[in-house]
Amino acid sequence: MMSNELSDFLLQLLNTPSPTGMTEQAVSLIEAEVRALGVETRRSRKGGLSWTLPGADSGAGHLALSAHADTLGAMVKAVLPNGRLRLTQLGGYDWASIEGEYVTVHGQHGVSVTGTVVNDFQSFHVFAPQLRELRRSGDNLEVRLDALTFSREDTRALGLEVGDFVSFEPRAVLTPAGYLKSRHIDNKASVAILLEVTRQLLKTPAPMTVGCFITTYEEVGHGAAPGFGEASEVIALDMAAVGRGQTSSEHHVTLCVKDSSGPYDHALGNRLRRAAQSAGIDLKMDIYPYYSSDASAAWGAGHDLPAALIGPGVDASHAYERTHLDALEATVALVLAYCHA
């Protein structure tokens, strides 16, 4: 059974803002957790985190496991004459998915101001005809700040300006039935899974050396572009997208065999299938047409190593997401089965 440490840490991580480009607080939290296990960590120049778990057999190979700590978010694109804010996206999502969300605007000098994303015609009693036809976009959504501001000058006096980061409130809830619903399960669930794998490998070392990598720019496409050091193969841990026409499930781990970057390594995928079969894990196989990962970013940067993509099933990806503890447990089990195969 999965340890409470995984779910407890995941909830803490979900409640730590880390939009792409502003990940230091989350990475520091992860780093402290790893160091508390007695494991030495390293930082990359791009702000990523890594650590190595030596294998029991020096000839058994070197596996890299990756997960990303950065999430969807926004930045201030403009301060409007009425003191509200226009946004530019960090990562890919439908603008409609953030309407009504609570946000925090992180100013440059330590100030943080909360707010709500609303559209220019939010009041149905005033703008009913416009609302019925409105397609949400960056041109008609704005942040209504929870501060006494009525002009551009008022907002700037608060310490807010163009270029400030904006994080979305995660609303993280673990239900009695074992469902976790929150923003940013992509990909903080996989970070927590990687921590649990680390705990288990410290108790029972694998034959192979395992390098763990936390990247910080995956949502904008170049998180793992620097590669994975001395690794001979990489398995990226990221969400499996649940939806109509897909095989992925909130209760299972999935092997993604192809996404928008093309097929992943066939031989490595087959080794993962065999590991799942030997361990009695119900592994789903799926294809995601609008998806890429740290593994595909590493390939795109020219790194010559086989790559695979696995992860827990997550419903409503890049919106208010949901998964089940079953899927997290199954992903941990698959990684451990592969490491010990």
Q: Tens digit of pLDDT for each residue in 164-208?
A: 999 999 999 999 999 999 999 999 999 999 999 999 999 999 999
Query: Which residues lie closer than 8 Å to 18 by C-beta, 6 or more apart?
Result: 25, 26, 27, 69, 70, 71, 167, 184, 216
Q: Tens digit of pLDDT for each residue in 252-302?
A: 999 999 999 999 999 999 999 999 999 999 999 999 999 999 999 999 999
- Residues 329, 136: Cα–Cα separation, whole Å: 37
Helix, strand, or coil here: 10?
A: helix
- Does position 154 have pLDDT exceeding 80, yes or no? yes
Q: Both tokens of residue 191?
A: 């970070």
- Does position 60 have pLDDT exceeding 80, yes or no? yes
Q: Strands 253-259, 284-287: parallel, antiparallel or unpaired by DSSP?
A: parallel
Residue ranges, comma separated, of all CATH 3.40.630.10 domains in the chain are: 4-71+184-339
219 is an annotated ligand-binding site residue: yes
| Whether 323 contacts 185, CB under 8 Å | yes
- Chosen CATH of 4-71+184-339 out of 3.40.50.2300, 3.40.630.10, 3.60.21.10, 2.60.120.380: 3.40.630.10
Q: At 51, which amino acid appears? A: W
Q: What is the pLDDT of residue 59?
A: 84
125 is an annotated ligand-binding site residue: no
Query: Which residues lie closer than 8 Å to 122 by C-beta, 6 or more apart?
Result: 131
Q: Enter the DSSP assignment of 227.
A: -
Q: Tens digit of pLDDT for each residue in 62-76?
A: 999 999 999 999 999
Residue ranges, comma separated, of all CATH 2.40.30.40 domains in the chain are: 73-168
Q: Tens digit of pLDDT for each residue in 99-118?
A: 999 999 999 989 999 999 99
Q: Tens digit of pLDDT for each residue in 214-241?
A: 999 999 999 999 999 999 999 999 999 9
Helix, strand and coil content of the chain, in percent to the nearest 5, comes to 30, 30, 40
Read off φ and ψ for residue 198, nearest 5 degrees. Answer: -60, -45
- Residues 318, 324: Cα–Cα separation, whole Å: 17
3-state secondary structure 72-132: CEEEEEEECCCCCEEEEEECCCCHHHHCCCEEEEECCCCCEEEEEEEECCCCHHHHHHHHH
Q: Can 218 be counted among the known catalytic residues?
A: yes
Q: How confident is the model at residue 2 (pLDDT cuts 50, 70, 90)?
A: low
| Whether 190 contacts 313, CB under 8 Å | no
Out of 218, 233, 250, 321, the active site residue is: 218
- Does position 3 have pLDDT exceeding 80, yes or no? no
* Closest to 282 in 3D by CA, of 244, 251, 243: 251
- Chosen CATH of 73-168 out of 3.30.70.920, 3.90.280.10, 2.40.30.40, 2.102.10.10: 2.40.30.40
Q: State percent of the chain over pLDDT 90.
A: 97
Show the DSSP H helices in the chain as ranges: 4-14, 24-36, 124-133, 152-157, 185-203, 266-279, 294-300, 325-339
Q: How confident is the model at residue 58 (pLDDT cuts 50, 70, 90)?
A: confident
